[in-house]
Amino acid sequence: YGLLGPNGAGKTTTILMMLGLSEPTAGRVLVDGYNSTTQPIKVKQITGYLPDNIGFYEDLTGRENLRFIARLNGVPGKHMDERIDSALERVGLLDVGDKAAGTYSRGMRQRLGIADLLVKDPKVVILDEPTLGLDPEGIEYMLQLIRDLSKKDGRTVLISSHLLHQVQRVCDRVGIFVKGRLLASGPIDTLADQVFGKDSYMLELKSDSHGKELYKLINSIPGVLDVTTEGDKLVIKSEKDIRRELTVKMFESGFSLLHLRLLERELDDIYRKYFEKKEGLDARPNLQRVRSAVQ
């Protein structure tokens, strides 16, 4: 599950409430049925948390840090070293496990953080901006680890991030969070249907002319629902794929077609649409207005 929103939207505050580290001003938070305010120890026992700036004892080795975590979480001594070795191997740090954590790069520290979670073996994993500050190779490695935590291990994984293209690669469901409000939640395809329509196509077109005649030509094609301008391109919403018919009509009418492609329904576009709707609400929206924005 991806918790999405810009910096300052309240994502980290929400996570802290889930972990029992901050109390909500109203309502309650349940994690696997446990109330994070009245049963914080229970929540912490089943939850693993990787903050955006994880800290380790830098003078201890990676292995020693994990051994400390294992003891805190009551891992039996006879299984401790086996579990630590398995975790280090899985995150690709087995060969540097005996080096001081202070010598690790940011990417290595993030992977050690995942190893920390594996040693604890939680049911619920919460990751706050897990790829922030990583190089492209480190991002790929981290995204694969996150996928495995969910798909292979069967854990519940929540990711907080503002990097939407990365979230789309690993999350089945997302929540769109803007200014402290959860505007929408569900599978990405479902949210796309709500924004763009269930049976609709989006085309991006660029021509040497965006005058009234081109708009008139496009709107004359059966199935066209809407035409909008975005920068130097037109975005066409239609009930069907009209690329072939549009190309023929533009050629016959003497228009130059510089660019035409079918747009995938990207998470960035979905988020932008919901954000635009939020911006249109009053400063104090009531529940009905929020429902209208989601619909």
Q: Which domains occur in the chain, in start order?
A: 2-190 (3.40.50.300), 194-264 (3.30.70.100)
The pLDDT value recorded for residue 294 is 34
Q: Tell me the mean pLDDT in the region 256-269.
A: 81
The pLDDT value recorded for residue 102 is 96
Label residue 277 by pLDDT band (50, 70, 90).
low
The residue behind tokens 């109390």 is 23
The pLDDT value recorded for residue 285 is 41
Rounded (5°) CA angle 226-233-229: 45
Contact between 107 and 141 under an 8 Å Cβ cutoff? The reply is yes
Q: How far apart are CA 97 and CA 66, in angstroms?
A: 9
Q: Which of 266, 264, 246 is nearest to 206 (CA)?
A: 246
State the DSSP code for 165: H
Residue 198 has pLDDT above 80, yes or no: no
The pLDDT value recorded for residue 91 is 95
The pLDDT value recorded for residue 199 is 59
pTM: 0.74
Q: How far apart are CA 168 and CA 171, in angstroms?
A: 6
Q: Tell me the mean pLDDT in the region 152-168.
A: 90
The pLDDT value recorded for residue 41 is 94
pLDDT tens-place string over residues 93-111: 999 999 999 999 999 999 9
Q: How far apart are CA 194 and CA 200, in angstroms?
A: 11
Q: How far apart are CA 213 and CA 197, in angstroms?
A: 27
Residue 144 has pLDDT above 60, yes or no: yes
Label residue 124 by pLDDT band (50, 70, 90).
very high
Q: Which two tokens stand for residue 234?
A: 């037109």
Q: How far apart are CA 129 and CA 50, in angstroms?
A: 9
The residue behind tokens 């070293």 is 81
Contact between 267 and 159 under an 8 Å Cβ cutoff? The reply is no
Q: Tell me the mean pLDDT in the region 263-267.
A: 73
